[in-house]
Every structure is written in C-alpha cells, then in structure tokens.
Amino acid sequence: MTPPEAPVTGPKGRCAGSAPAVSVCLPASATRIEILRQRADFLRAASALRQGTPGFLLQARKRREDEGPADLIRIGFTCSKKLGNAVARNRAKRRLREVARLVLPEGGQAGWDYVLVGRPEATATRDFVALLADMKRALNDIHSGRAQQARPRGEPAKGKRRGKG
C-alpha cells in the first residue's frame, strides 16, 4: 500500500498564502477562565441563581468586588455518586468541561462564578450537540433574569426525592 500524495507545500510547510491550521494566539478581548477548587466557592454558587436543563444544572452568581479580578470567569464541575461509579462520573465531568470550554468564552460574563452539576442518566449519555444547546440556553436564561433563585436552606426539594434518606 502506498501513502497518499502530499500536497505541494512552501518553505514553511504549507501552501503559499494559506492560513495556519491552528491559531494559538488568543484575542486581546478574550476573558480568562479559571477552575473553582474551594468548597466555599461551590457553596456560594449553590446559594445563588440556578437554571436546570435536561443535561445538567447550572448554578451561577456574580462575584463581589473584593472576591478577585473582575475580568475573570470561574467555573466548577461536580458529579455526585448518584451518577454512577468513578468511570461514569469522570466521563460526565469531561463532557461538562468540554461544553464549558466551547460555550463560556462567548456566553459567559466576566466577574461571574458558574458551577455545572451533572445529572444522573443524562450528562454522560445526552447528545453532545444537545448539551451545547443546553449550556447556551442556560447562560442566556441566567443573564436575562429568567433563572430561579436557589431554595432557602432547610427547605426540602419539591417532588420525589432522588437520594437516600
């Protein structure tokens, strides 16, 4: 078997006048994204706005002035044991990380914290294009004021409980 013919390339390895295959430079207006790691940050996001989607739950809050740089988006990911074993949880988190990587730069707002919470039987199996659409819609709802406020502490969830208790 013979390899296919390579296209004619110039001295830099590509056709003269063509753009490089990958751009590694971020635009000057790009907002930095940082990962949430401390439990307190997750708890503060859980007590603010929330927007449910079929694939995940988005929790969001606008940071105060004294809580860090205002030009930064912070994102956290959480998948409980309800999602399954470690392999299933890690797969769900990988999918949520990729959704955030693709959607947050244009849909997120600087100065906000976001937490994506995986849903059992949905996050790991839902079509990826549908997850992207869920994320865009959830961010739009959060920033347009259509999101729900978090339940006050101590108030039980409405409907059938999913957890043990």
Is residue 27 assigned to a domain?
A: no
Provide the pLDDT for residue 147: 76
In tens, the pLDDT along 90-127 reads 999 999 999 999 999 999 999 999 999 999 989 999 99
Is residue 47 assigned to a domain?
A: yes
Residue 75 belongs to domain spanning: 40-146
Is residue 91 assigned to a domain?
A: yes
Is residue 120 assigned to a domain?
A: yes
Which pTM value belongs to this model?
0.74
Indicate the burial class of 81 (C-beta count within 10 angstroms; 0-12, 13-18, 19 or more): exposed
Number of domains comprising the chain: 1
Q: Which residues of 43-66 are buried (b: 16+ CB within 10 A; e: fewer)?
A: ebbbebbbbbbebbbbbbbebeee
Is residue 137 assigned to a domain?
A: yes
What CATH number does residue 66 fall under? Answer: 3.30.230.10
Is residue 59 assigned to a domain?
A: yes
Read off the pLDDT band of 25 (50, 70, 90): low
Is residue 1 assigned to a domain?
A: no
Provide the pLDDT for residue 30: 64
In tens, the pLDDT along 48-87 reads 999 999 999 999 999 998 887 888 999 999 999 999 999 9
Is residue 135 assigned to a domain?
A: yes
